[in-house]
Amino acid sequence: MRRYQILFLTISSCLLLLSSCAVKTVDGFEQKETALKSYTAQYFSDPAKDYVYKAQISVYGRDFGGIFIAKKINDTLYRAAFTTEFGNKLFDFEVTDNSFKVNYILEELNKKIIVNTLKRDFMLLLKKHHDVAQQYESAQNTVYKSNDGKRFNYIFTDKTSGRLSRLVNATKSKEKTIITYNAESDILAQNIVIDHKNIKLKIELNYLQQ
């Protein structure tokens, strides 16, 4: 009996520990009944448009720049490419909601840790459909929570404009990546910041009017 008591105490203290470490992304938000089955992201959705951005990458105190290009190829497929200012291509990926293919990556960048980070970031940035599991609300935002493998995506939309303003990729206990959008229209975010919480990596994208 005593053994069970100890076991119970251990489990409940573990649970307490877990719940106290739970991700704070929607703290203070009110949970609502889910009104949407699936949330569809609108940025990057015009197949006639080349989405060209000046990129600033800051990684562990080192800064460098380049040009980021995203292009919707068909209903499910995106291309995501990166070049230097001079035009040399550094990488070129094919991304869908659930697949990722490297068309090209410069040998010097072809390291597992780099490719996996870029893969995660650009799959998140270009993800079109998010199945909604839960919904939260505050005065300004409606937030859709969606399952993403072992992680979760919190999709913050602005109540006034209806536009996606923030996307938080998190585990149960920690925020990992936060994407912040400043939008010019429903289909174009002119400023995007991809900020990492677990590594010192920040990518800022500013749209270039062609």
Distance in angstroms (rounded) separating the CA atoms of residues 66 and 185: 24
The residue (of 27 and 107) whose beta carbon lies closer to another protein is 107
The residue (of 81 and 164) whose beta carbon lies closer to another protein is 81
Task: Identify the H or E element spanning 100.
Answer: strand 100-105
The residue (of 36 and 187) whose beta carbon lies closer to another protein is 187
Q: How far is the CB of 47 from another protein (least distance, A)?
A: 9
* Residues near another protein, by CB under 8 A: 48-50, 52, 54, 56, 63, 65, 67, 69, 71, 73, 79, 81, 83, 85-89, 92, 103-104, 106-107, 208-210
The residue (of 89 and 174) whose beta carbon lies closer to another protein is 89
User: Which residues in 41-71 are b (16+ Cβ under 10 Å) and which e?
Assistant: bbbbeeeeeebbbebebeeeeeeeebbbbbb
Contact 75, 56 (CB under 8 A): no
Q: How far is the CB of 114 from another protein (least distance, A)?
A: 17
Q: How far is the CB of 139 from another protein (least distance, A)?
A: 36
Q: Which residue has the tokens 């992304």?
A: 25
